[in-house]
C-alpha cells in the first residue's frame, strides 16, 4: 500500500513539476519574443516594463506549481538528505515567490503613477491651450 502511494505521488510530482517548468518556459519564450518586438519596433524604455510585468506573472505561476510539487514530495521523502534538499529548494522558491509578488506590485504602482502623471500633464496642456 505504501509503495503504491509512493509511486502515485512520484508520478504526480513529475506531472506538476513539468507543468511548472512548462509555464516558465512559455513565459520566457513569450517574453523574449516580446522583448525583441518591442526592441525593434517601439524602441522606448517604458515599452519594456509591461513585458517584464507579464514575465513576472508567468514566473510566479510557475513557482506556485513547483511549490505544489514540493508539498507533494513531502508525502514521500525517505532520507534526511532528500528532506534537506527539499527544504532548501522549497525555501528558495517560497522566498522568491514572496519577493516576486512584491516586485510586481511595486512595478504596477510605478506604471499607474506614471500614467496618472501623463494624464495630469496632458490635461494641464489642454487647459493652458484654451
Question: If you ran DSSP here, which 8-state letter would residue 74 be given?
Answer: T
Give 41 or 125: the residue with its C-beta nearer to another protein: 41
Phi, psi of 74 (to 5 degrees): -65, -20
CA distance 100 to 102: 5
> Does residue 106 touch another protein according to CB under 8 A?
yes
Identify the three-state secondary structure at position 71. helix
The answer to whether 73 and 86 have CB atoms below 8 angstroms apart is yes
CA distance 49 to 35: 10
Instruction: Calculate helix-pair angle for 2-41, 48-73, nearest 10 degrees.
Output: 170
CB of 52 to another protein, least distance (A): 5
> Does residue 35 touch another protein according to CB under 8 A?
yes
Of 1-9, 85-93, 122-130: span binding another protein (CB under 8 A): 85-93
> Does residue 72 touch another protein according to CB under 8 A?
no
> Does residue 79 touch another protein according to CB under 8 A?
no
Interface with another protein by CB under 8 A: which residues?
A: 14, 17-18, 20-21, 24-25, 27-29, 31-32, 35-36, 39-40, 43-45, 48, 52, 55-56, 58-59, 62-63, 66, 85, 88-89, 92-93, 95-96, 99, 103, 106
Amino acid at each position: 500500500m505504501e509503495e503504491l502511494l509512493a509511486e502515485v505521488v512520484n508520478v504526480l510530482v513529475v506531472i506538476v513539476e513539468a507543468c511548472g517548468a512548462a509555464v516558465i518556459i512559455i513565459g520566457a519564450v513569450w517574453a523574449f519574443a516580446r522583448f525583441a518586438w518591442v526592441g525593434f519596433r517601439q524602441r522606448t524604455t517604458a515599452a519594456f516594463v509591461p513585458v517584464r510585468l507579464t514575465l513576472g506573472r508567468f514566473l510566479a505561476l510557475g513557482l506556485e506549481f513547483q511549490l505544489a510539487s514540493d508539498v507533494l514530495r513531502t508525502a514521500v521523502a525517505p532520507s534526511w538528505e532528500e528532506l534537506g534538499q527539499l527544504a532548501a529548494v522549497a525555501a528558495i522558491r517560497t522566498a522568491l515567490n514572496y519577493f516576486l509578488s512584491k516586485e510586481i506590485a511595486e512595478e504596477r504602482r510605478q506604471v499607474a503613477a506614471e500614467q496618472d502623471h501623463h494624464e495630469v500633464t496632458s490635461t494641464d496642456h489642454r487647459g493652458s491651450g484654451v
